[in-house]
Amino acid sequence: MSGLIQEMSDKAQRLGIPLAVQFDLTYRCNERCVHCYLDHDDHGEMNTAEIKDLMEQMAEAGVFFLTLSGGEIMMRRDFFEIVEHARRLSFCVKLKTNAVMIRQPEADRLQALALDAVQISVYSHRDEVHDAITKLPGSLKRTIAAVRLLVERGVKVVFANVLMRENFQDYSGVQALAAEVGAEFTIDPTITPMMDGDRSILNLNIERAQLQQVFRDASILGTSPQEFCAPPAGPPTAEDAQNMLPCSAGHTFCYVSPYGDVYPCVQFPLPTGNVRTTRFLDIWKHSPQMTEVRSITISDLPVCSTCSHGGGSCSRCPGLAYMEGNMRGPSSQDCEKSFVRTGVETAGMLIRREARSIDGLVQIRSAAGPDTKAESLQNCL
């Protein structure tokens, strides 16, 4: 993060300003990606007037960075009307799209909008792999044709390469394709649960050895693997832990669904209010749930505050922890990542292992009769 952006972010946090928002315009999509965490039916999206009004409220609240995402954003017939309104309100706008609906006229209009960036999902440089993930025949060809149109017009394009078992072997190919077409490249090695809590898609996550390979690939890290995978720095000091925040969710960032529901983050499905009944700023400032999220510092995390990874190598996501049942608990996916990165087990992993062995003992006892302790232990995990 550049110095000035960090300063702006710190200032926004001090003043309680929602500096950045991801706003999903729709969950409808023309692709059916195997790893998608969304339900694609329309359960009552906000209409154009509601969206424009919400964006005006956001501008008034101080939102600067606005990411419009979905679903596929261009499934909305009023898509350009919405983005044009966002730019009139001087947001720094980033779009997330699969780009298959972008042809020359759309590329021209996007160029005129002076966007910050267009992030486009690319799963492979090979049609058969990409299209098997999106379940839309011909999608890679259409996506890359759109990328070329945008890059030719000077629009900044960023490839988002989500890694899963199906496409792991292709990330270098996607990286090379990005370089060839003049796009930036980002990689995400984590498949997250569906928003309704269904964890079945986690089976698509890459294996530990594959994640190790990613974390030791200097071409992706932007730093040396030795530095990135260095042993954990130890737990934060008590003083640091009191001042450290888990992440920007609820502090300078939030997420709004197509139905007007406001959450601390797209990956943190804790409902905090709905803009159809309550003004955006009132939810942001006064919702009890948002206030609770905001009150949590690292020292409030019973496991993670003592973890040796807490000083730096851990990228704990409170939303993933929430989806595992406790927003103050560890996130097993992030524990796994920290472990793969450093080779050192996290406090969360040690506790889980201990609990499994206790659980084993309890099961032996329970063979002799019901044991309520077993149930209460299970609930704590």
Partner 1 sequence: MSPVYIARVKEVAARSIGGEMMIMSARDSTLFSLNETATAIWQAADGVTPLAEIVQRSLCAQFEVDPATALRDAEELVEGLAKHGILKLSDQPIVEAK
Q: Which residues bind partner 1 (CB under 8 A)?
A: 2, 4-5, 7-8, 11-12, 15, 17, 19, 59, 62-64, 87, 90-93, 114-117, 156
Q: State the nearest-atom distance from the C-beta of 263 to partner 1, in Å.
A: 22
Nearest to partner 1 of 14, 43 (CB atom): 14
> Token digits for 372?
């309520």
Distances (CA, A) of 84 to 65, 80, 112, 149, 279: 15, 6, 10, 20, 22
**CA triple 197-251-271, angle to 5 deg:** 30
- Of 6, 60, 56, 66, nearest in space to 253 by CA: 66
DSSP assignment letter at 268 = B
Query: Least distance in Å: CB of 134 to partner 1?
Result: 29
3-state DSSP call for residue 187? strand
Nearer Cβ to partner 1 (73/93)? 93
Tell me whether residue 90 or residue 363 sits nearer to partner 1 (CB atom).
90
Please, are residues 366 and 374 in contact by the beta-carbon 8 Å criterion? yes
Of 20 and 283, which has the nearer Cβ to partner 1? 20
CA distances from 243 to 18, 24, 28, 237, 299 (A): 19, 31, 40, 10, 8
Cβ closest to partner 1, residue 153 vs residue 208: 153
* DSSP strands (E only) in 104-250: 117-121, 157-162, 184-188
Report residue 363 as tokens: 């099961």
Shortest separation between residue 217's beta carbon and partner 1, angstroms: 26
Answer left, alpha or beta for residue 371, where phi above 0 means left and psi between -120 and 50 means alpha: beta
Single out the residue of 10, 60, 21, 27 nearest to residue 264, CA to CA.
21
**What's the min distance (Å) between Cβ of 285 and partner 1?**
15
Cα 361 to its chain centre, rounded Å, is 38
Give min distance, CB of 64 to partner 1, in A: 4
Whose Cβ is closer to partner 1: residue 13's or residue 274's? 13
Widest CA span of the chain, in angstroms? 73
Instruction: Report in angstroms how near the CB of residue 252 gets to partner 1 at its nearest.
Output: 10
Instruction: Compare residues 66 and 327 and give the one whose CB is closer to partner 1.
Output: 66
Q: How far is the CB of 363 from partner 1 (least distance, A)?
A: 56
